[in-house]
Amino acid sequence: MKHTFEQLRLDSVSRSFTNAEGQQLAALKGLDLNIQRGEFIALLGPSGCGKSTALNCIAGLQPLTGGGIWLDDKRIDVLPPEKRGFGMVFQNYALFPHMSVLDNVGFGLKMRGVSKAEATKRAKAALQLVQLIGHDAKLPGQLSGGQQQRVAIARAIVIEPPLVLMDEPLSNLDTKLRIEMRAEIRRIHGKLERATIYVTHDQDEALSMADRIVVMKEGVVQQVASPKEVYSRPKNLHVARFMGFRNVVQATLEGTQGDCVAVNANGVRLLGTPMEGFDSKRVAVALRPEDMERVAPGTENAFDAHVEVVEYGGRDSLIIIDTAFGKLWARIAGECSEGERITLRVAPSKTLVYGEEK
Amino acid sequence: MIALPAQRDPKGWLVAPALIFILALFIYPFAYGLMLSFNPMNGGGMWANYVTFFTDSSMWPTIIVTLKLAVPATIINVGVSVPVAFALRRTSPWQKFATTLLVVPVTLGTVLIADGMLTYFSPNGWFPQALQALHLYGDEVRLTHNYWGVLISLIVSGFPFAFLLTLSYVTGIDPTLARAAATLGANPWQQFRQIYLPLLLPGLTMTACLSFVQAFSVFPSAVLLGAPAGPTRVISIAASEAAFENYDYALASTIAIVMGFVQLLVVGGMLGARRFFYTGPVTGGKG
């Protein structure tokens, strides 16, 4: 069934609670987001950033303390979860342990008063979609983690919800299965023209699955953008750190040079791309370990480094280097030994310059 | 190859104290009582005591009288503990308050409860006085020295026990299951009916078994709060009379064996019925 809704609109959705000392704590501060039909959105952030709270608020499992949720022009945040009709996949799957696989998947249809024969037919079709056939009569406890995961997805999509909510659904699976299931979830999403909101703390998952990523920190949205944009142009230092810019160097702004800015990091001159948050000469430069390349000594915009620790990784090595502006991480291809002196360079487009951290 | 002599793990001896304890305190007295019941004081063959029990109209009806008290008490205790435990399933100050309040009767003991109830429920006690003062009930309120007195005391002493057990079963059920059911369209009643109840049934059967056994062996409150000569002449009173008034230990043992047998029958029936329910983990998957 194709859904006719056009968009789900979160209008400054907020959620705060009172702790034991009577203080108001905000778990989610004014989340604004428009989700179009067919979109795959990832809510990304470290634990405690409010991403699961956001999901529970949308599902109706936690009440909002401010703002509203609209499905086209229908306000839904006032409805109890059973009236919203969104499919949800829980982190621990929350399969009903006393019901067979078929009854688990058919539960939502049973609650909607669908006839037994019709429910069985549709539950079987959903199980086929998640490629889990021949386990209908088993109890969830008799299935492997990956199979339980598929049952949970089938159960959430069989009710044909306009929106499927997934709360870290892959975090309990092993690495190999996790990568398989990523593609699987994308495939299922593509087959059903509806929106998916996917909560994760794993940036690889978000980058590989989502159409748009919402990066969150402490209940506040940091950036909403395509995976490519979030990966290469993190809006601020928090997002940059989360997206793998492990090295943040303090520097002073020297001037502009075309589209680039020149900075001085403790005597070393580097060229970088200006980002956001400038309000003084003090800046922070973010560098990914992966973006460092070995160059001949004396190359422009390069810096000298002393290799302190080498962590051999096969294709490349993760090394800790000491430079004029502090200790950094670098991931470089080829041989490298501890104590060696090397020269490294990061392309100006990958050297991101932000305003100094407050 | 050299066959090694089978090595006995000396740690196996650690089971000995428990085994001796069970033998000395349960198996031997039970076997002794069983043998005693087949040796009637007044002669007449090994089954004579059992024949006496089931033909004497002052004895066999005690089974019915006891069942009439124990079965309703069990049903009320378990039946009421389910909604109360369900309402208090989330950790809250209320849950702490209720559990603390309900532990009190468990610690008091039946005699003290009976004594308190005699003052509170007797025709001149607070409860009947209050009812009459509020014009809620005009006639004389008789809640002591009859069936109702014993039933109330069985509830007062048995409910906390049933509630605390049920609460532990309810809180053991993963709350995300009900949340999952809610997202699938189940209203709160359906969440209870479809998710909580089926997962609770095995535990509730166990609670009912323990509550029943406790209620069936009622003695002090049947004497103090009931009418031990008539409507609340329970089976333990018959046994006590045989042992301590007629000094017929053999007959008293017989009554005790019959009592145990009835309990076994009911408990066996309930546990047998449990096989038809789901028994297994009450969480929703890995994690």
So what's the pLDDT on residue B2? 63
Between the CA of residue A319 and those of A289, A303, A315, A316, A337, what are the distances in Å?
9, 15, 13, 10, 9
Q: For residue B261, which amino acid is it?
A: F
Q: In whole angstroms, give the CA distance from residue B199 to residue B196.
A: 5
Residues of B in contact with A88 (CB under 8 A): 180, 183
Asked if the Cβ–Cβ distance from B286 to A145 is below 8 Å, we say: yes
| Class of residue A331 by CB neighbours under 10 A (exposed 0-12, middle 13-18, buried 19+) | middle
Q: How far apart are CA A195 and CA A43, in angstroms?
A: 13
Beta carbons of A293 and A345 less than 8 angstroms apart: yes
Instruction: Supply the pLDDT for residue B287.
Output: 41
The pLDDT tens digits of the residues spanning A82-108 come to 998 899 999 889 999 999 999 999 999
Mean pLDDT of chain A: 90
- Interchain CB distance below 8 Å, A94 and B177: yes
A-chain CB neighbours of B182 within 8 Å are 60-61, 80-82
Contact B184 A148 (CB under 8 A): no
Dig out the tokens for A252 from the structure: 């002073």
Number of residues written out for chain B: 287
- Residue A277 to residue A262: CA distance in whole angstroms: 16
B282 in Cβ contact with B199 (< 8 Å): yes
pLDDT at A314: 84
Q: Under an 8 A CB cutoff, do B285 and A94 touch?
A: yes
A134-180 pLDDT tens trace: 999 999 999 988 899 899 999 998 988 889 999 998 888 888 888 88
- The mean pLDDT of A263-290, rounded to a whole number, is 88
B49-91 residue pLDDT tens: 999 999 988 889 999 999 999 999 999 999 999 999 988 888 8
Q: What percent of chain A has pLDDT over 70?
A: 99
Task: Say yes or no to pLDDT of A271 above 50.
Answer: yes
What was the pLDDT predicted at A1?
A: 42
**pLDDT score at A301:** 85
Q: In what order do the strands lie in the sheet with A341-345?
A: A293-294, A341-345, A302-312, A316-323, A326-333
Contact A272, A311 (CB under 8 A): no
Out of B186, B280, B284, the one facing A94 most closely (by C-beta) is B284
Query: What pLDDT does B104 receive?
Result: 83
Q: Which residues of A touch B192 (CB under 8 A)?
A: none
Q: State how far the Cα of B187 lies from the Cα of A112, in Å rounded to an integer.
A: 11
In this prediction the pTM is 0.80
What ipTM describes this predicted complex? 0.81
Region class of B233: left (phi > 0), else alpha (psi between -120 and 50), else beta = beta
**Is B186 in Cβ contact with A152 (below 8 Å)?**
no
Give the residue-averaged pLDDT of A180-196.
88
SS3 A320: strand
From A112's Cα to the closest Cα of chain B, the distance in A is: 7
Chain B residues touching residue A155 (CB < 8 angstroms): 180, 184
Q: Report, in angstroms and rounded to the nearest whole number, the Rg of chain A calculated over CA atoms.
A: 24
Q: What number is the average pLDDT over the span A191-219?
A: 92
**Chain B residues within an 8 Å CB radius of A87:** 183-184
> Where would I find the H helices in chain A?
51-59, 81-84, 101-111, 116-129, 145-157, 175-191, 203-209, 227-232, 237-242
Ranges of residues in chain B whose predicted pLDDT is under 70: 1-6, 284-287
What are φ and ψ of residue A200, in 5° steps? -155, 160
With CA atoms as reference, the chain B residue closest to A62 would be B179
pLDDT at residue B187, as a whole number? 92
Dihedral over Cα of A89, A95, A101, A103: its sign: negative
- The model's confidence at residue A18, banded by pLDDT at 50, 70 and 90, is confident
Output the pLDDT for position B284. 65
**Chain A partners within 8 Å of B173 (Cβ):** none
Q: Which domains does chain A have, with CATH numbers?
A: 7-238 (3.40.50.300), 244-355 (2.40.50.140)
Q: Is the pLDDT of residue A2 over 50?
A: no
CB B69 within 8 A of CB B231: no
- Residues pairing with A54 in the sheet: none
Q: Provide the token pair at A318.
A: 């993760």
User: A249 pairs with which residues across the strands?
Assistant: A285
Tell me which CATH homologous superfamily contains domain B46-277: MetI-like (1.10.3720.10)
Select from B184, B199, B280 the Cβ nearest to the Cβ of A108.
Answer: B184
Instruction: Using CB atoms, pick whichever of B185, B199, B283 lies closest to residue A111.
Output: B185
pLDDT of residue A276: 82
Question: Closest Cα partner for B216 from B66, B29, B98?
Answer: B66
Burial (CB count within 10 angstroms: exposed 0-12, middle 13-18, buried 19+), residue A297: exposed
pLDDT band at A21 (very low <50, low <70, confident <90, very high): confident
A2 compared with B34, residue with greater pLDDT: B34
Query: Could you tell me if B198 lies within 8 Å of chain A, comparing CB atoms?
Result: yes
Q: What is the CA radius of gyration of chain B?
A: 24
Considering only residues 150 to 189 of chain B, which have any Cβ-Cβ distance to chain A shorter than 8 Å? 174, 176-177, 179-187
A198 to chain B nearest CA, in Å?
Answer: 16
Q: Which of B132, B236, B160, B283 is nearest to A92 (CA)?
A: B283
Helices A101-111, A116-129: inter-axial angle, 10-degree rounding: 120
Residues of chain A contacting B, Cβ within 8 Å: 59-61, 80-82, 84-88, 90-98, 107-108, 111-112, 139-141, 145, 148, 152, 155-156, 159, 165, 172
Give the Cα separation of A63 and A183 in Å (integer): 33
